[in-house]
Amino acid sequence: MRKLLLAITAGLTVTTTQAAAQNAEEVFAERGYALAMDELCELFTADQRDALSVFYLQARGALIRAGENAAELDEYRTSLDDAAADQGCQSEHAQLIYQRVNEGYAGFERLMRMSFPADQFSWEANAPIGLSQTEWLARQDAAPVAAGLALVSGELEFVVDLPQVDGVTSAVLVLRDMAREPDLYDPTVGGLYPAPRHAPWLRWSAPDYARQLVFSRGRVDSAPAAELNPAEARQIYRFSVADAERIAERDPREAARIDLMDRRGERITSYFFEVGDLGAAIAFVRSRAHLNPDDTGRTG
């Protein structure tokens, strides 16, 4: 990948078909370099920046799933900052990047939906339809769980849609504490133990000795809950967009866990969904935010 740094003439791939024509290494390097140049020179709008992030994060996830080391990828991304600084904001290189991203964004802007497949499931992201104040914008169906970003009464939130379970008073997301356990953890110990009952597909998840807990903000009210899932009565728990970003920081191959708790704080049962390319899905939703003027979809 280091060789790509010498050949970057960064641009923005404008459709999923064209993105597929490039390999993930090229996409990661080119979009990463454009983002580095933007951080230095403020070349792009927020929507253009999010569009670049969509493909950069999607490529990063693909490379990790193919066996690349996440820390080395992040080190490479840091080296792109140095490369951008060497060129400078007044360089022909910076002007070329600006021109290509602006040309490419005109095509990207017409995309109304994108799919972000991972090992087991995919995040399906779409622009807001605008017919209701409550709708899914990015969703993963990991039956019996559905999770993702949704407008809930006009507010963008991360929600987890779960089966009805008696005696539940709260829900807690359980993520791997990356400081205490930087490596992936296999709860089955290579298949010696069974996978969790609700997630036979699971390979990696948070160990009990290194957990980061994220507490739900409560349940979605009955009326918007019925709009999100009109087919059956479910319990849908609310989390913030910042919580979704915390999930997206994890390895795309691992699972996030959600514990359902009783009034004594005891765990009743657990469900799981795949981290996958959630970060790319978040960036896509944000890049479509201008289509929904009531909510920017950005946390800062």
pLDDT along the chain (300 residues), means of 10: 48 43 84 95 95 96 95 95 94 91 89 95 93 93 97 96 95 98 95 92 96 97 94 91 98 98 96 98 90 46
**Residue 153, CB-side half-sphere exposure with 13 Å CA sphere:** 9
Mean pLDDT taken over the chain: 89
Q: How many CB atoms within 10 Å of residue 92?
A: 8
- With the CA atoms of 230, 233, 234 and 236 taken in that order, what torsion angle do they form, in degrees rounded to the nearest 10? 60
Predicted local confidence at residue 22, as pLDDT: 60
Burial (0-12, 13-18, 19+ Cβ within 10 Å), 137 = buried
pLDDT at 300: 38
**Strands 218-219, 211-215: parallel, antiparallel or unpaired by DSSP?**
unpaired
pLDDT of residue 193: 92
Helices then strands, counting H and E runs in the chain, come out as 8, 11
Residue 28 identity (one-letter amino acid):
F
d(C-alpha 96, C-alpha 43), whole Å: 11
